[in-house]
């Protein structure tokens, strides 16, 4: 006889097994600036047309040792980019993507397949225009390693699958315009600590992650996203009266402004940061030199060469004082 106690025990075991399967898995957040789903199809037999979606979010769970993982991706179908504003509007209409009713498409994996150490397949469910079908992504490349610029763990892959658009309620003009649609996706993701801190409501640590992400985004040339991310960090540190961290976050905010060619605003931000840092004891001369070097560059761009040269003259003396020199015997 099956008792409630046995049912409860079974549920606990299933839950534990499910949790343990990914207990050691690392979480990676999709990098929208380097993740682009593309789709291609035959246009009346004349050519293969290529389009893509510009906004993708999601998460990847990956356990390298256990060779397990999960992929959860959301695509904003309103971000479709065909290269033509007129056709972007056409393909979002009711006969095709119907983005007014279905503004997103999703892929949720059910299984990842390895051949030795090589990831070869990702099986899962694709939901498009409100219709869900199983698909298999064939993985053509996969890499998990420290990012050489961002200096944090990252992973990336390329994969493809083929679907029939008629099966997703988008059969207009088929088969003259190809029914088969190939979907290719290039995906990159960064290992995230931010989500863990967020779940635990460790607000300051979330902001620290944002500050570091802003710095990485600046290195990658992603000015708008860097500006937004740094702004969040500044807001948190200011609200928490953590003025030292607020200063460093403001520095990243100023760098993002300069990257976006908002030179007057960036100059004002950096000068404010410099005024605060200059009051600190002991002095962080390396940070001061970094700030003033950036200020000098902006002044030169604005035609204020005399002011820039005066800063550079002073910094040369500071840098010389900071340089390591071999010990000398002053008596000889």
Q: SS3 letters for 162-201?
A: EEEHHHHCCCCCCCCECCEEEEEEEEEEEECCHHHHHHCC
Contact 187, 30 (CB under 8 A): yes
331 within domain boundaries: no
CATH code (residue 312):
1.25.40.10
294 within domain boundaries: yes
Averaged pLDDT for residues 10-16: 38
Phi and psi, residue 46, nearest 5°: -80, -40
**Do 229 and 286 sit in the same domain of this protein?**
yes
pLDDT bin (cut points 50, 70, 90) of residue 131 is very high
Handedness of CA 291, 296, 298, 299 (dihedral sign): positive
pLDDT bin (cut points 50, 70, 90) of residue 2 is very low
**Do 210 and 153 sit in the same domain of this protein?**
no
4 within domain boundaries: no
**Do 145 and 272 sit in the same domain of this protein?**
no
Name every residue whose Cβ is closer than 8 Å to that of residue 37 and which is 6 or more positions away in sequence.
Answer: 52, 53, 56, 73, 75, 183, 184, 185
Q: Which H or E run contains 131?
A: strand 131-146
**Final residue before a domain boundary, out of 192, 220, 241:** 192
Kindly compute the dihedral angle of the four CA atoms of residues 210, 215, 218, 222, in this order, to the nearest 10 degrees.
Answer: -20
Rounded-to-integer distance, Cα 217 and Cα 29, Å: 14
Q: Which two tokens stand for residue 258?
A: 């300069």
Residue-range definition of the domain harbouring residue 150: 24-192
pLDDT bin (cut points 50, 70, 90) of residue 328 is low
Averaged pLDDT for residues 105-130: 94
**Do 169 and 42 sit in the same domain of this protein?**
yes
Confidence (pLDDT) at 331: 46
The proportion of the chain whose per-residue pLDDT surpasses 90, expressed as a percent, equals: 64
Confidence (pLDDT) at 268: 96
Could you count the other beta carbons within 10 Å of the beta carbon of residue 241? 7
Averaged pLDDT for residues 69-88: 94
Q: Which two tokens stand for residue 294?
A: 């950036």
44 within domain boundaries: yes
Asked if pLDDT for residue 8 goes beyond 50, the answer is no
Q: Which of 209 and 35 is assigned the larger pLDDT?
A: 35
| Coarse DSSP helix, strand, coil percentages of the chain, rounded to the nearest 5 percent | 45, 30, 25
Confidence (pLDDT) at 216: 80
Mark out the alpha helices in 76-222 (DSSP H runs): 85-91, 194-199, 203-219
**Final residue before a domain boundary, out of 159, 192, 225:** 192
Confidence (pLDDT) at 117: 84
**Do 222 and 157 sit in the same domain of this protein?**
no
Averaged pLDDT for residues 18-47: 79
Contact 74, 210 (CB under 8 A): no
Q: Which of 88-92, 204-208, 226-230 has the lowest mean pLDDT?
A: 204-208
Contact 277, 287 (CB under 8 A): yes
Asked if pLDDT for residue 23 goes beyond 70, the answer is no
7 within domain boundaries: no
Confidence (pLDDT) at 11: 38
**Do 31 and 161 sit in the same domain of this protein?**
yes
Confidence (pLDDT) at 327: 55
**Do 236 and 175 sit in the same domain of this protein?**
no
Rounded-to-integer distance, Cα 206 and Cα 196, Å: 9
Rounded-to-integer distance, Cα 118 and Cα 120, Å: 6
Asked if pLDDT for residue 319 goes beyond 80, the answer is yes
Ramachandran region of residue 283, left (φ > 0), alpha (ψ -120 to 50) or beta? beta
pLDDT bin (cut points 50, 70, 90) of residue 196 is low
What end-to-end distance do the CA atoms of the chain give, in Å? 98
pLDDT bin (cut points 50, 70, 90) of residue 141 is very high
Dump pLDDT digits (tens) for 154-169: 999 999 999 999 999 9
Name every residue whose Cβ is closer than 8 Å to that of residue 114 and which is 6 or more positions away in sequence.
Answer: 67, 120
Name every residue whose Cβ is closer than 8 Å to that of residue 305 and which is 6 or more positions away in sequence.
Answer: 299
Confidence (pLDDT) at 190: 87
Confidence (pLDDT) at 9: 41
Could you count the other beta carbons within 10 Å of the beta carbon of residue 73? 22
Confidence (pLDDT) at 290: 93
Confidence (pLDDT) at 269: 96
Confidence (pLDDT) at 198: 75
Mark out the alpha helices in 220-304 (DSSP H runs): 223-239, 243-259, 263-277, 285-301
Rounded-to-integer distance, Cα 39 and Cα 33, Å: 18
pLDDT bin (cut points 50, 70, 90) of residue 10 is very low
**Do 307 and 210 sit in the same domain of this protein?**
yes
């Amino acid at each position: 006889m099956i008792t409630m106690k046995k049912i409860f025990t079974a549920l606990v075991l299933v839950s534990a097994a499910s949790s343990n399967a990914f207990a050691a898995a690392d979480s990676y957040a999709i990098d929208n600036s380097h993740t682009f789903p593309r789709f291609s199809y035959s246009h009346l037999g004349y050519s293969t047309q290529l389009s893509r979606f510009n906004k993708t979010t999601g998460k990847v769970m990956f356990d390298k040792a256990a060779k397990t993982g999960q992929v959860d991706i959301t695509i904003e179908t309103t971000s479709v980019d065909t290269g033509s504003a007129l056709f972007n509007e056409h393909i979002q209409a009711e006969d095709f993507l119907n983005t007014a009713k279905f503004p997103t498409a999703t892929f949720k994996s059910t299984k990842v397949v390895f051949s030795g150490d090589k990831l070869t397949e990702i099986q899962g469910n694709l939901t498009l225009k409100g219709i869900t079908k199983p698909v298999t992504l064939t993985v053509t490349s996969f890499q998990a390693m420290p990012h050489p610029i961002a200096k944090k763990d990252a992973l990336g892959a390329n994969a493809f699958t083929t679907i029939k658009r008629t099966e997703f309620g988008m059969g207009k003009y088929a088969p003259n315009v190809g029914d088969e649609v190939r979907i290719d996706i290039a995906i990159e993701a960064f290992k995230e600590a931010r989500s863990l801190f967020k779940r635990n409501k460790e607000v300051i640590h979330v902001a620290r992650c944002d500050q570091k992400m802003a710095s990485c985004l600046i290195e990658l040339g992603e000015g708008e996203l860097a500006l937004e991310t740094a702004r969040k960090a500044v807001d948190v540190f200011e609200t928490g009266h953590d003025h030292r961290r607020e200063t460093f976050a403001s520095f990243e905010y100023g760098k993002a402004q300069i990257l976006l060619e908002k030179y007057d605003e960036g100059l004002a931000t950096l000068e404010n940061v410099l005024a605060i840092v200059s009051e600190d004891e002991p002095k962080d001369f390396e940070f001061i030199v970094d700030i003033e070097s950036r200020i000098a560059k902006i002044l030169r761009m604005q035609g204020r060469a005399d002011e820039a040269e005066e800063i550079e003259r002073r910094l040369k003396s500071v840098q010389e004082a900071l340089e390591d020199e071999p010990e000398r015997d002053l008596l000889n």
